[in-house]
Amino acid sequence: MESLSALGVVIEVVDRGSFAAAGRALGVSASAVGKSITRLEERVGARLFQRTSRSLRLTPEGERFVERCRRILAEVGAAEAELAEANGEPRGTLRISVPVAGGPFRSALADFQEAYPSVVLEIESTNRYVDLVREGFDAAIRSGVLEDSTLTARYLGAFRALLVGSPEYLARRGAPRLPRDLARHDLLQFRLSTSGRLHALTVREPADSAPRFARTSVVANNLDLLIHFAVRGRGLAYVADVLIRDELEAGTLVPVLAEQVGAPVACHVVWPEAKHVPPKLRVFIDYLAEHLLPER
């Protein structure tokens, strides 16, 4: 068991990029992580990491060792999953990547953990496309077109992108009736973390031209922040309807050009392809499919 624990420490250091980050994830000090690595190196008679004051990287021997460690720990995890399945209760740690966004994701994850208290959720909120296998994630929630064909995916439903503004802003600047009317409005622009590009509006009429705005007043890679600016009347925001359910119901945000601007966007949960899906992951996938984007 001590050897398996040491293998887990090595994997955490590789995935997190430093002893300090691995220590935070494991709940121990960076010094304790370093001592564990040193003891393991002494036991196997090889140096696993090349360490300087500014960098930490695997040696060639370390790369081969880590590759095998991942397979060993995956087998241990599968064995534990089989035991858990036999006992009828999903358990263990589930490491997932979710978008930096609001209500529906937070609610679904909290409800899942309440339904399955023996499953420990380790959540990373990020808008970048994580490498599930290399970074050790069990699953990720992704929207839009799926680019990684090596992953297994399950469709969760679809949401709609809407252009919205506050009633106060629209009263002050005038509600647009056609896409060309947006030329007198300010845009709150979302920057995609995956590509660094600005999120373009989908316009159906006219289909071949993007709307022009008077200016872009705010650029951010955080949708919650853009929603806040929109509620405060600082411009129009192009966001998913599921993220602004409360604001739409309360009337603090209203759709603009709903018949001409916006499009449905598919949402999936993805996970590494495997012969055996652990019970903790299987119930998580099923729960999301039922609760994240229910039919509206």
pLDDT of residue 291: 84
* Cα–Cα distance measured from residue 104 to residue 223, given in angstroms and rounded to the nearest whole number: 13
108: Cβ contacts below 8 Å, ≥ 6 apart: 287, 288, 291, 292
* Cα–Cα distance measured from residue 148 to residue 140, given in angstroms and rounded to the nearest whole number: 12
* Cα–Cα distance measured from residue 278 to residue 280, given in angstroms and rounded to the nearest whole number: 5
pLDDT of residue 1: 56
15 three-state secondary structure: helix
pLDDT of residue 210: 65
pLDDT of residue 224: 86
pLDDT of residue 101: 67
pLDDT of residue 181: 86
pLDDT of residue 246: 85
pLDDT of residue 191: 80
Locate 40 and state its tokens.
């393991």
pLDDT of residue 205: 59
Q: Residues in the chain with pLDDT < 70?
A: 1-2, 80-88, 101-103, 148, 193-195, 205-210, 275, 294-296
Angle between helices 60-87 and 2-16 (to 10 degrees): 120
pLDDT of residue 212: 79
pLDDT of residue 243: 84
pLDDT of residue 79: 73
pTM, two decimals, is 0.61
Alpha helices, DSSP H only, in 45-136?
60-87, 103-115, 132-135
